[in-house]
Amino acid sequence: MSVRTLPLLFLNLGGEMLYVLDQRLRAQNIPGDKARKDEWTEVDRKRVLNDIISTMFNRKFMEELFKPQELYSKKALRTVYDRLAHASIMRLNQASMDKLYDLMTMAFKYQVLLCPRPKDVLLVTFNHLDSIKGFIQDSPTILHQVDETFRQLTEIYGNLSAGEFQMIRQTLLIFFQDLHIRVSTFLKDKVQNSNGRFVLPVSGPVPWGTEVPGVIRIFNDKGEEVKKTGFKHGGNYVAAQKEGAFELYGDRVLKLGTNMYSANRPVETHMSATSKNLASKTQENIAPNPLAKEELNFLARLMGGMEIKKTSGPEPGFRLNLFTTDEEEEHAALSRPEELSYEVINIQATQDQQRNEELARIMGEFEITEQPEITEQSTSKGDDLLAMMDRL
Amino acid sequence: MVAADSEGPEDRSFRMYRRERSIPLRGSAAALSNNLSVLQLPASDLMHFGVVHGPSAQILSSAPGGMPLAQRQLQVKVGVGVSPPLITQVHWCVLPFRVLLVLTSHRRIQMYESDGSLMVYWHALDSGDASSAQTLFARGIAASVHFICVGTWSGRILVFDIPAKGTNIVLNEELAGHQTPITDIATERAQGQDGVADMVTADDSGVLCVWRSGTVFTLLTRIPGFGVPCPSVQLWQGMVAAGYGNGQVRLYDATTGALHVQISAHARTICALDLAPEVGKLLSAAEDTFVHIWKLSRNPESGSIEVEHCHGECVSDTQLCGARFCDPSGCSFAVTGYDLAEILRFSSV
């Protein structure tokens, strides 16, 4: 509904992705001198984060991102994050990538839902950016890129009305509708119920600009307050203390969007079907993928702006597992419920050949661990690349 | 959780309303405002409900006990290979000789026979002088005499002239008065006056306009906003009830535009208001999970508007998005919530 939603969605999901990767890389951290050739070190971790962050905040990419446009499906967006996650030496299997995307989307859904004011989604975004800057403190070039994005956000969103923010909020919630994946950290902290729905507290501070419910004011013809009575509203609210800062630096007040993962808390998700009514499918399943062309254009534009650093020489990709063991990862891949599968975008090679070739060229820089089987029908390089993308 | 505050010797926990059986939905309700429409057919005992899911809306009918009988999904079809646009609202318009179901979405307005079986008219929104940073959509639906009024993203209100039967629906007038997207429209048939009804329109900046309808609509009063959207509005016996993004409910005199009452009613934005016209009960629902019921009245001496809180209900962990009374005396009501695939019903004991 709002054409200004994508930058907020992308940056916050990207922030959550970095939180998870950072935590997972730390958990698998081996001190540099003791590490074998195939184990992660602190240097590797910093390098992965640097590579991903510099790709995310690349100027050309940000330019495309900030253009007014509609939100595309979760499928399309997932493709962008797949590419982003592989912007470094790190490699993720399908199951780990699925889990990563689940965690990212549920975390941001939670943050949007619990934002006191619609405008506070901007504070959540700033919290993510503040943390991202923490990851790349030693790289002034990338820091400058992030600050530049900050400036762009302030320019575009700084003057939006409350009504426009409400529309952005509604657009985000429509995007996240019907997602009820249970995240163990959320369950443990009691912010999510066992049925996958988030807890909406009826206590605590009211949003900045809202009064504590329970007061009825009567006015006379002159507009003067002549009477004040109370009523029992049922919640347990208190007044807001102060407003979060929207400047480059400042106390955001709001904790939503800060890093909730620490080295001690493993990131788990429960993959059981949470929706009892399996007939209620998410929006994108209603029409059998007629979005292909629109989404292809969107992806080509967006990913065309991503500048992936080509690794010099034959360097092996380091695989990161989001699960505790390889067996667990394998099992997760096999047992993922049908309604939670992120179906890949079905590219019809017969439509818009030029666009497909352009996309294939962009994706050609993308390296994957397993070589796909070349079928007898694909004769040109373009077909091969499209076939590879179909298997993403 | 209940907050009943009738003073008296009765037990304070005496519930005025109890939960009835929910009506299941095929798809969850979308996080929109005014996302529930109810049609009570006095002739039969049937009740119709309309809820927006996203790119589709569900219309269903139920028997008095809440047992669902028939259901239908509506979509806006725009072309091959293009995804169906998001629907913003679905609402029944009761006119003197017929009832039409109106559906507003991005780019289009569609009107159907009341059971949703047949589309009788559609209107494509005009892009006019929209910039690229604006999406075109329609939102806000109400019936006034033999007109149907629909709000748009630009603030303009389209007035359609509806014949007693048939499909010869004509765009009669476009009302100017708002500069920001329309959120809601409410109308009321004026008592004792021949066919003249009053109307109030609200927008994203909180501005309210009060109109007298007719072959040409006249703007009577304009109530300024205060920087907060007004997602929902109601009109009853010369009183305008408006629900705002900061959780306030305000009551204005429709003729003068003067503010009479300001209630800090909710801790989050109000998503829906509804009125039970026979008794002057007002229902407010908000994203803070609460529903409140108020009794409106006029002081016979001073003429000022008075309000009394009747009942509060907490729908745990549910960001409400729609609420309606199910009968004109306010004995029962229904609510919808974001991500919830059912309509919750309450009726008084």
**Residue A94 main-chain phi, psi, to 5 deg:** -50, -50
pLDDT value for A74: 81
Quick one: closest CA in B to A198, which residue? B317
What average pLDDT does range B136-141 have in this prediction?
96
**To the nearest 5 percent, what fractions of chain A are helix, strand and coil?**
45, 5, 45
DSSP A33: T
- Asked if A293's CB is within 8 angstroms of B231's CB, the reply is no
CB contacts of B135 in chain A (<8 Å) are 1-3, 70
Mean pLDDT of A19-36: 73
- Across chain A, what does the average pLDDT equal? 78
Which residues 6+ apart lie within 8 Å of A58 measured at CB? A145, A305, A306, A307
Give mean pLDDT, residues A111-121. Answer: 95
Task: Give CA separation, A175 vs A72, A111, B335, in Å.
Answer: 9, 14, 22
| Residue B246's pLDDT band (cuts 50, 70, 90) | very high
Please say whether the beta carbons of A154 and A126 come within 8 A. Answer: no
Residues B2, A234: C-beta atoms closer than 8 Å: yes
What's the rounded Cα separation, in Å, for the pair A13 and A80? 11
Contact in structure between B334 and B36 (CB atoms under 8 Å): yes
pLDDT of residue B332: 94
- Residue B12's pLDDT is what? 37
Cβ atoms of A192 and A186 within 8 Å: the answer is yes
What backbone torsions phi and psi does residue A83 show, to the nearest 5 degrees? -65, -40
- What residue of A is the nearest CA neighbor of B133? A68
User: Contacts of residue B225 in chain A, CB cutoff 8 Å?
Assistant: none
Contact A166 B269 (CB under 8 A): yes
Q: Decide if A213 touches B, using CB distance below 8 A.
A: yes
Max CA pair span of chain A: 85
Instruction: Check: CB of residue A127 under 8 Å from CB of residue A252.
Output: yes
Which segments of chain A are extended strands (E)?
Answer: 90-91, 182-183, 203-205, 215-219, 225-230, 236-238, 269-270, 318-319
Judged by a CB distance cut-off of 8 A, whether residue B225 touches chain A is no
Q: Is B137 within 8 Å of B125 (Cβ atoms)?
A: yes
Of the two residues A308 and A124, the one the predictor is more confident about is A124
Distance from CA of A13 to the nearest CA of B (A): 20
Which residues have CB under 8 Å from B79's CB, separation 6+? none
- CA dist., res. A145 & res. B39, Å (int): 55
As to burial, measured by CB atoms within 10 angstroms (0-12 exposed, 13-18 middle, 19+ buried), residue A27 is middle
* pLDDT reported for residue A309: 56
Phi-psi group of A147: left, alpha or beta (phi > 0 → left; psi -120 to 50 → alpha; rest → beta): alpha
Q: Is A1 on the interface with B (CB under 8 A)?
A: yes
| Contact in structure between A114 and A198 (CB atoms under 8 Å) | yes
Residue A307 is predicted with a pLDDT of 62
Q: How far is B260 from B252, CA to CA, in rounded Å?
A: 5
CA distance A46 to chain B (A): 38
CB B182 within 8 A of CB B205: no
Cα B343 to the chain's mean position, in Å? 16
Residue that wins the pLDDT comparison between B74 and A309: B74
CB of B28 within 8 Å of a chain A CB? The answer is yes
Confidence of residue A154 (pLDDT cuts 50, 70, 90): very high
Which of B80, B137, B252, B317 to mutate to test binding with chain A, by most A CBs within 10 Å of its CB?
B317
Best of A72, A112, A166 to substitute, by most chain B Cβ atoms within 10 angstroms, is: A166
For residue B101, what is the DSSP state? E
Distance from the Cα of residue B175 to its chain's centroid: 20
Q: Do A216 and B307 touch (CB under 8 A)?
A: yes
Distance from CA of B26 to the nearest CA of A (A): 5
Q: How far is CA B32 from CA A31, A295, B154, B171, B323, in A?
A: 51, 25, 18, 26, 12
pLDDT of residue A85: 85
With bands split at pLDDT 50, 70 and 90, how would you rate the model's confidence at A292? Answer: low
Q: B226, B104, B88, B84: which is closest to B160 by C-alpha? A: B104
Structure tokens at B334: 């229904």
Residue A377's pLDDT is 37
Interface contact B86-A293, CB threshold 8 A: no
Confidence of residue A289 (pLDDT cuts 50, 70, 90): very low
Q: In the predicted model, what is the mean pLDDT of residues B308-330?
A: 95
Q: Which residues of A357-381 are buried (b: 16+ CB within 10 A; e: fewer)?
A: bbbbebbeebeeeeeeeeeeebeee
Question: Three-state SS for B57?
Answer: strand
The ipTM (two decimal places) reads 0.92
CB B33 within 8 A of CB B184: yes
Least confident of A231-245, A346-360, B53-67: A346-360
The pLDDT > 90 percentage for chain A reads: 39
Q: Which of residues 219-248 of A touch B (CB under 8 A)?
A: 219-221, 223, 231-235, 237
Res A301: pLDDT: 73
Size of interface A-B (CB pairs under 8 A): 185
A202 near B CB under 8 A: yes
Higher pLDDT residue, A211 or A317? A211
Query: What residue of A is the nearest CA neighbor of B30?
Result: A174
Tokens of A10: 């992308």
Q: Worst-scoring range by mean pLDDT, A310-324, B31-45, B187-201, B253-267? A: A310-324
Output the pLDDT for position A149. 95
- Give the highest mean pLDDT range of A50-54, A315-319, B298-302, B321-325: B321-325
A205 touches chain B (CB under 8 A): no
Does residue A251 contact residue A244 with C-beta atoms inside 8 Å?
Answer: yes
More confident residue, B289 or B45: B289
Helix (H) or strand (E) holding A384: helix A381-390
pLDDT for B182 beyond 80: yes
Residues sharing a CB contact under 8 Å with residue B289, sequence separation 6 or more, in sequence order: A200, A202, B314, B315, B316, B317, B318, B319, B320
Q: Taking the model in full, what pTM does it have?
A: 0.87
Burial B76-89, CB ≥16 within 10 A → b, else e: beeeeeebbbbbbb
Say if CB B296 and CB B239 are below 8 A apart: yes
Taking the CA of residue A228 and the nearest CA in chain B, the distance in Å comes to 10
Q: Which residues of A touch B307 (CB under 8 A)?
A: 216
Interface residue A215 vs chain B (CB under 8 A) = yes
At B36 the pLDDT is 98
Mean pLDDT (whole number) for B162-169: 94
Q: Which amino acid is at A135?
A: F
Q: What is the pLDDT of residue A355?
A: 56
CB contact under 8 A, A177 and B54: yes
CB contact under 8 A, B227 and A162: yes
User: Does B297 lie at the interface with A, CB-CB under 8 angstroms?
Assistant: no
pLDDT band at A386 (very low <50, low <70, confident <90, very high): very low
Closest CA to B169 of B141, B153, B186, B146: B146
Q: Are B287 and B271 in contact (CB under 8 A)?
A: yes
A272 pLDDT tier (thresholds 50, 70, 90): very low
Q: Which residues of A touch B311 (CB under 8 A)?
A: none
A 162-181 residues inside an 8 A Cβ radius of B: 162-164, 166-167, 169-170, 173-174, 177-178, 180
- Find chain B residues with C-beta within 8 A of A2's C-beta: 135
Q: Is A200 in Cβ contact with B316 (below 8 Å)?
A: yes
Averaged pLDDT, B310-334: 95
Q: How confident is the model at residue B187 (pLDDT cuts 50, 70, 90)?
A: very high
Is B267–A206 a contact, with Cβ atoms under 8 angstroms apart? yes
CB-closest option in A197, A210, A234 to B246: A210
Interchain CB contact of B284 with A (< 8 Å): no
Give the three-class secondary structure for B209: strand
Residues of A in Cβ contact (< 8 Å) with B204: 161-164, 166-167
Q: Considering CB atoms only, which of B264, B312, B316 is closest to A212?
A: B264
**Helix intervals (H) in B5-151:** none
d(CA B257, CA A356) in angstroms, rounded, equals 59
Q: Look-up: residue for tokens 């003429």?
A: B303
Q: Which residues pair with A229 in a beta bridge?
A: A216
Separation between Cα atoms, residue A136 and residue A143, nearest integer Å? 7
Q: Which of B107, B207, B260, B268 to probe by mutation at the A interface, max A CB count within 10 Å?
A: B268
CA distance B165 to chain A (A): 33
- Minimal-distance CA residue of chain B relative to A167: B32
What is the share, in percent, of chain B residues with pLDDT greater than 90? 78
User: Among all chains, which residue has been given the structure tokens 């303009």?
Assistant: B156
pLDDT: which is higher, B131 or A190: A190
Across the interface, do B135 and A161 touch by the CB < 8 Å criterion? no
Residues of B in contact with A277 (CB under 8 A): 24, 341
Q: How far is it, in rounded angstroms, from Cα A67 to Cα A3?
A: 8
Task: Please give the share of chain A, as a percent, with pLDDT higher than 70.
Answer: 70
Search chain B and give the residue with CA nearest A68: B133
Please indicate whether residue B13 or residue B79 has the higher confidence score (pLDDT): B79
pLDDT surpasses 90 at A192 = yes
> Do the chains contact at A202 and B84, CB–CB below 8 Å?
no
Task: Find which of B78-92, B128-142, B144-158 is predicted with most confidence, using mean pLDDT.
Answer: B144-158
Tens digit of each residue's pLDDT (9 = 90 or more) over B287-312: 999 999 999 999 888 888 999 999 99
Count of helix runs (H) and strand runs (E) in chain B: 0, 30
With contacts defined as CB-CB under 8 Å, which chain B residues touch A275? 341
Q: Dihedral (C-alpha) A179, B32, A283, A332: value to the nearest 10 degrees?
A: -10
Rounded distance, CA A243 to CA A122, Å? Answer: 13
Residue A357: pLDDT band by 50, 70, 90 thresholds?
low
